[in-house]
Amino acid sequence: MIPYKTKTLANGLKVIVHEDPSTPLATMNILYKVGARDESPDKTGFAHLFEHLMFGGSANIPDYDEPLQMAGGDNNAWTNNDVTNYYLTLPADNIETGFWLESDRMLNLAFSKKSLEVQRNVVIEEFKQRYLNQPYGDVWLHLRPLAYKVHPYQWATIGKEISHVENATIEDVKDFFNRFYCPDNASLVVAGNVKADKIFSLAEEWFGGIQRSVVKRSPYPVEPPQTEKRELTVERDIPFDSIYRAYHTCSRLDKEFYAVDLLTDIMNRGRSSRLFHALVKEKNLFSEINTYTTSDFDKGLLVIEGKLIKGVKMKDAEAAIDEELARLCNGEINDEEVEKVINKVESTMEFSEMDLADRALNLAIADYMGDINLANTEIELYQAVKAKDIQEQARQIFRESNCSVLYYLSKTQSN
Amino acid sequence: MQNIVDRSTPPSLKPIEKIIIPHAEKHMLDNGIPVYVINAGLQNLVKVDLIFGNLSYDPSQPLLSSATNRMLAEGTARHSALELADLIDYYGSFYGTEESADHCSVNLYSLNKHLDKTLPTLREILTEAIFPDSDLATFILNNTQRIAVENEKVNSIARKKFNEILFGPKHPYGHIMTADDYSAIQRSALKDYHVRQYVSEHCTIILSGKVTDETIKLINKHLGDKNWSRSNGQAAAGVPLSSASGRIHRVEKEGAIQSAIRIGKKMFTRSHADYPGMAVLNTLFGGYFGSRLMSNIREDKGYTYGIGSAVVPMKDHGYFFISTEVGSDVTEAALTEIYKEMIDLRETTVEKEELETVRNYMLGSFIKSLETAFHLSDRFKSMHLSGLEYDYYDRYLAKLRSIQPDEIQALARKYFDPESMTELVVGPK
């Protein structure tokens, strides 16, 4: 249970406070409702590059990190397809430093040319380190455009290609800032050893004078239903063949999401799960296998990915996956199996409330989903799911025409 | 609208004064197992951490202790691996293991309301493991594949190779596990090691979370009996270190577009008098976002996504290392800058302001590292396994508060001689 109080400033900034007097710390979490899905197709990777630039100095503060560290604080940020999230933690006595830093960079950035030049290089090295210089690293660069033809989820947060990051200009940066970095496109959560009244007045003082956005946001293109199976094969210098199957499914915001999430848990969460047991332990077809949903804010994907044991034929591996999918669609899902995965969700939520920063993030995400109290009530939505709901989702999702398959094969291995 | 707030001067800061470290409370089970209790937090959950010091290391069976520990839950005479996993998962609990060259541990995370149901399974796993042949075969197969994938990553190759250079291939700190090591695992050896290692005399328990008298009673009920007491394990005997000769090492990784760089040297354990001071020097040099290495090599030059350094204390030794992955075309330039930063700390005294930032950052991080019961458990564990008491943290914090620029420079002169550093680059020709 995460208690909270909330207030919306005149400029549209939502402020949420969670008081926890048991800690000497405070966390400030600012979520901007912008991600890679807001990029134009010829300038991808921009939301993430922009996140880097948010540390390159703001209107009145040349260096973001140094004053925070001087205050005993630490920070980080991340970007995905839907969200850019910034958070800092520091001794609660120094929370005003957080207000000063975060409000100044929401007010205006320094737009330094040097910062853009350096961060372009840093992001290009990140692109290489995480996507190009790792075995299996570029899988999502292929899988996304296979599964999405219209919706911007067709590119990864890092961008379609390095050149998009290389070509970013200071005008692009300014334009992006003006469109998305506004108080009415953000939520501010402050959690820890703080008083709500004091936080509301600090928020008014530091953020109240920032102008709301002037740009109207347009809706995202809707991905049309997939009507036939898609396949793509790539060959790489990797030791083992692997397979990635992506099925279209609902969004994080849809009511069916909870059944789909539990479906993937039954399939693949932990060592007692169906796919792990049958395909890794019993049949020795895969060295590892994972099933998960992408939990996106628009319609997302359910992904099954596995690395084959050396010498196993792809068609045998696929047949074994299909057998498990058929069992889910046509066989029995018993109540005990459903209870098990619901119990796991319940304890995971309890564990996720230990850290202050995680509580703050839970509140911010719930607010973005449309109801802050979901941070406390979402467990009930899981508990209401029945075996038949899960089976219904399985039947709807696991249709061949709804599937995109990426065969990611070893050049050195002949099958 | 008001917009009168003064943005040009930062809000005034309050100094970080008193830091309170809640101490673990020691209890004893009926069979003599020490239980260290950290009772903190609001969530109704608990972590049970069982730690076993490794027995003597045999270089011909380098995987013996870690494979035994990782395979404990793969089956008993009463339950298969699947049934054991089901018994844990049904109650929303999490079972895990951790292995290092010095210790192995088994952890159970559970909601308090289910602890009585999950502890019997934990006990069964610990004392009745039988290491079934088919599960062992799967374990060997999957780990052999995992190693092959890891060996494609420049960073993994560098991490393993660097330790081998420092500690020697025959020492548990330096040995690189190979597919052959996995294939050589014998079920009989695991069973034999299990009998000697997993006895109450070798066990230390840390309980953290919401721990009541009732929790301790439950632990005593399921783990406090004398039936798993057997004092016939041998204490760990040291294996001599053998470092590779030469300062500069290169490993070719064909087709890589980035190079992994590791630079460092053997150092010391947590009990060494210079450890707290080195922790400060390391943070300033490469241990936080504002460090010299990050500021120069990432934030000024853009050579890398990240660079960092660390002082790593182990039970009998320790080491210092710098690690980064950089574009292959800038490898030499990055090396030059890394050494330049070392030399600068030796030749020039740091500004008071910079040291103050590091000091405050570290004090803030320290408070953060005490945040939850699990954090406190980790704090206790690293101290206790180094053979230290809580006064170690008093000394550490006192040094952190008092250290001055001249002492930082003296430490840099003592430990940051570039000629004393081992350098490894893994990348294209």
- Per-residue model confidence as pLDDT tens digits over A269-283: 999 999 999 999 999
- Name the one residue in this structure whose structure tokens are 């292929």: A142
Q: CB of A97 within 8 Å of any CB in chain B?
A: yes
Chain B residues with CB-CB distance to A129 below 8 A: 258, 304-305, 325
DSSP structure string for B81-121: HHHHHHHHHHTT-EEEEEE-SSEEEEEEEEEGGGHHHHHHH
Question: Identical fold at A5-207 and A230-410?
Answer: yes
Choose the closest CB to B298 out of A69, A122, A237. A122
Q: What is the mean pLDDT of residues A138-161?
A: 97
* pLDDT score recorded for residue B105: 97
Minimal C-alpha gap between B228 and chain A (Å): 27
Where along chain B do its domains lie? 25-228, 248-427
Tell how strand A5-8 and strand B248-252 pair up. unpaired
What's the pLDDT band for A415 if we cut at 50, 70, 90? very low
Q: Which of B153, B399, B429 is nearest to B279 (CA)?
A: B399
**CB atoms B325 and A125 under 8 Å:** yes
Q: What is the mean pLDDT of residues A168-194?
A: 95
Closest residue, chain B, to A206 (C-alpha): B5
Q: CB of A214 within 8 Å of any CB in chain B?
A: no
**CB atoms A128 and B363 under 8 Å:** no
Tell whether the model's pLDDT for residue A346 goes beyond 90: yes
At how many degrees (to 10) do helices B352-368 and B391-402 cross? Answer: 150
**CB atoms A118 and B360 under 8 Å:** no
Q: What is the mean pLDDT of chain B?
A: 94
* Fold annotation for B25-228: Cytochrome Bc1 Complex; Chain A, domain 1 (3.30.830)
How many residue pairs from chains A and B have C-beta atoms closer than 8 A? 214
What's the pLDDT band for B40 if we cut at 50, 70, 90? very high
* CB of A233 closer than 8 Å to CB of A407: yes
Tell whether the model's pLDDT for residue A286 goes beyond 70: yes
Cβ within 8 Å of residue A332, ≥6 positions away: none
Q: What is the mean pLDDT of residues B168-190?
A: 95
Q: What is the mean pLDDT of residues B387-405?
A: 96
Distances (CA, A) of A260 to A245, A303, A362, A370, B223: 16, 11, 20, 20, 39
User: What whole-number distance in Å separates Cα of residue B217 and Cα of residue B70?
Assistant: 28
Residue B386: exposed, middle, or buried by beta-carbon count in 10 A (0-12, 13-18, 19+)? middle
The single-letter code of the amino acid at B322 is I
Q: CB of A42 within 8 Å of any CB in chain B?
A: no
* pLDDT score recorded for residue A216: 82
* CB of A78 closer than 8 Å to CB of A85: yes
Closest residue, chain A, to B329 (C-alpha): A125
Compute φ and ψ for A278, nearest 5 degrees: -70, -45
Q: What is the mean pLDDT of residues A186-206?
A: 98
Break chain A down into helix, strand, coil percent, rounded to 5: 45, 20, 35
* pLDDT score recorded for residue B211: 97
Q: What is the mean pLDDT of residues A129-134?
A: 91
Architecture in CATH for domain A5-207: 2-Layer Sandwich (3.30)
Q: Which residues of A298-311 are buried (b: 16+ CB within 10 A; e: fewer)?
A: bbbbbbbbbbbbee
Chain B residues with CB-CB distance to A136 below 8 A: 149
Cβ within 8 Å of residue B382, ≥6 positions away: B270
Distances (CA, A) of B405 to A73, A278, B359, B402: 22, 61, 11, 10
Tell whether the model's pLDDT for residue B181 goes beyond 50: yes
| Strands of the B103-111 sheet, one edge to the other | B25-28, B34-39, B203-209, B45-53, B103-111, B94-99
Chain A residues with CB-CB distance to B141 below 8 A: 284, 287, 309
* pLDDT score recorded for residue A414: 47
Closest residue, chain A, to B353 (C-alpha): A70
Where along chain A do its domains lie? 5-207, 230-410
Distances (CA, A) of A53 to A28, A119, A161, B388: 19, 7, 19, 44
Q: What is the mean pLDDT of residues A132-144?
A: 95
Minimal C-alpha gap between B333 and chain A (Å): 15
Distances (CA, A) of A354 to A30, B89, B377: 20, 20, 14
User: What whole-number distance in Å separates Cα of residue A225 and Cα of residue A250?
Assistant: 12
- Name the one residue in this structure whose structure tokens are 């009541």: B212
Chain A residues with CB-CB distance to B368 below 8 A: 25, 74, 89
* CB of B325 closer than 8 Å to CB of B258: yes
Count of CA atoms in the C-beta half-sphere (13 A) of B17:
3
- Name the one residue in this structure whose structure tokens are 């101290």: B383
Predicted-assembly ipTM surpassing the 0.90 threshold:
yes
What's the pLDDT band for B235 if we cut at 50, 70, 90? low
State the Cα angle at A29 between A24 and A35, rounded to 5°: 160
Q: What is the mean pLDDT of chain A?
A: 96
Chain A residues with CB-CB distance to B255 below 8 A: 237
User: What whole-number distance in Å separates Cα of residue A346 and Cα of residue A344?
Assistant: 5
**CB atoms B92 and A91 under 8 Å:** no
Chain B residues with CB-CB distance to A99 below 8 A: 11
Minimal C-alpha gap between A401 and chain B (Å): 32
Question: pLDDT (tens digit, 9 = 90+) per residue, A352-405?
Answer: 999 999 999 999 999 999 999 999 999 999 999 999 999 999 999 999 999 999
Residue A317 structure tokens: 């591996």
Choose the closest CB to A350 out of B7, B43, B85. B43
| Strands of the B318-327 sheet, one edge to the other | B248-252, B422-427, B258-266, B318-327, B304-313
What's the pLDDT band for B107 if we cut at 50, 70, 90? very high
* CB of B102 closer than 8 Å to CB of B54: yes
Chain A residues with CB-CB distance to B81 below 8 A: 271, 281
Task: Name the CA dihedral angle for B393, B399, B400, B401, rounded to a multiple of 10 degrees.
Answer: 110
Q: Which residues of B93-120 are buried (b: 16+ CB within 10 A; e: fewer)?
A: bbbebebebbbbbbbbbbbbebbeebbe
User: What whole-number percentage of chain B has pLDDT above 90?
Assistant: 91
**CB atoms A70 and B357 under 8 Å:** yes
* CB of B244 closer than 8 Å to CB of B168: yes
Listed in order, strand segments (DSSP E) in A172-280 are 186-192, 230-236, 242-248
* pLDDT score recorded for residue A20: 96
Residue B396 structure tokens: 């550490």
Chain A residues 316-335 with CB within 8 Å of chain B: none
Question: pLDDT (tens digit, 9 = 90+) per residue, B258-286?
Answer: 999 999 999 999 999 999 999 999 999 99
* CB of B130 closer than 8 Å to CB of B76: yes
Closest residue, chain B, to A286 (C-alpha): B142
Minimal C-alpha gap between B118 and chain A (Å): 13
- Name the one residue in this structure whose structure tokens are 């009732």: B214
* pLDDT score recorded for residue A215: 80
User: What whole-number distance in Å separates Cα of residue B356 and Cα of residue B282?
Assistant: 14
Cross-strand partners of B53: B103
Closest residue, chain A, to B143 (C-alpha): A287
> How many C-beta neighbours within 10 Å does residue A373 have?
12
State the Cα angle at B196 between B190 and B202, rounded to 5°: 125
- Superfamily of domain A230-410 in the CATH hierarchy: Metalloenzyme, LuxS/M16 peptidase-like (3.30.830.10)
Closest residue, chain B, to A134 (C-alpha): B153
**CB atoms A351 and B258 under 8 Å:** no
- Name the one residue in this structure whose structure tokens are 């050589």: B184
DSSP code at position A184: G
Confirm or reject CATH 3.40.30.10 for domain B248-427, answering yes or no: no
Tell whether the model's pLDDT for residue A65 goes beyond 90: yes
What's the pLDDT band for B237 if we cut at 50, 70, 90? low
User: What whole-number distance in Å separates Cα of residue A257 and Cα of residue A292?
Assistant: 12
Q: CB of A206 within 8 Å of any CB in chain B?
A: yes
Residue A411: exposed, middle, or buried by beta-carbon count in 10 A (0-12, 13-18, 19+)? exposed
Chain B residues with CB-CB distance to A100 below 8 A: 7, 10-11
Residue A71 structure tokens: 């205050």
Q: Please, where are the H alpha helices in B201-330?
A: 213-223, 275-282, 292-293
What's the pLDDT band for A126 if we cut at 50, 70, 90? very high
